[in-house]
Amino acid sequence: MPDGYTGEAGDLPPCALVDMPGYGYAQAPKAQVDAWTKLVFDYLRGRTTLRRVYVLIDSRHGIKKNDEEVLKLLDLAAVSYQVVLTKTDKIKAAELETLKVDTLAKLAKHPASYPEILATSSEKGVGVDEMRAAILHLLSLG
């Protein structure tokens, strides 16, 4: 946990955690997905109080073409982001380690990316505490 954090809400500055519509798979017409994508990037652009964007990547697929496009846009907007690998319980441990190495290599080419990956499984609860700690650490930086 961050230095000085005692578990009390008053210990940290106020924050908002925003769950934005996805840009990848969606069962909606392309025009609707395009509108969501524009909404997301309009929201992110020029938001000086924004600490970090967490980009969720399905560990069964790794960074796909549409993910790469989003990472490039975040780089151009100078928005700090960190990759969170999801559904890690669906792949073998050796595959996950290979995916982490490959993902870090790809992220090295992106100036706005945070050079650490979070690996999670909501089904098994893996990585959830680490993700919470990462968010709390950002908040503790003021």
- Residues composing the chain: 142
Q: How confident is the model at residue 106 (pLDDT cuts 50, 70, 90)?
A: very high
Residues 27-46 have pLDDT tens digits of 778 888 778 778 877 888 77
Exposure string for 20-29, b = 16+ CB within 10 A, e = fewer: eeebeeeeee
For residue 8, what are its two tokens? 């009390």
> In this model, does residue 131 exceed pLDDT 80?
yes
Starting at the edge strand found earlier in the chain, the sheet holding 53-58 runs: 53-58, 81-86, 118-119
Residue 97 CB-half CA count within 13 A = 3
Which contiguous run of DSSP H or E holds residue 128? Answer: helix 128-140
> In this model, does residue 1 exceed pLDDT 50?
no
Instruction: Say what the pLDDT of residue 5 is.
Output: 46
CA 102 from centre of chain: 17
> In this model, does residue 3 exceed pLDDT 50?
no
Whole-model pTM: value is: 0.82
Does the domain made of 21-140 have the CATH classification 3.10.450.40? no
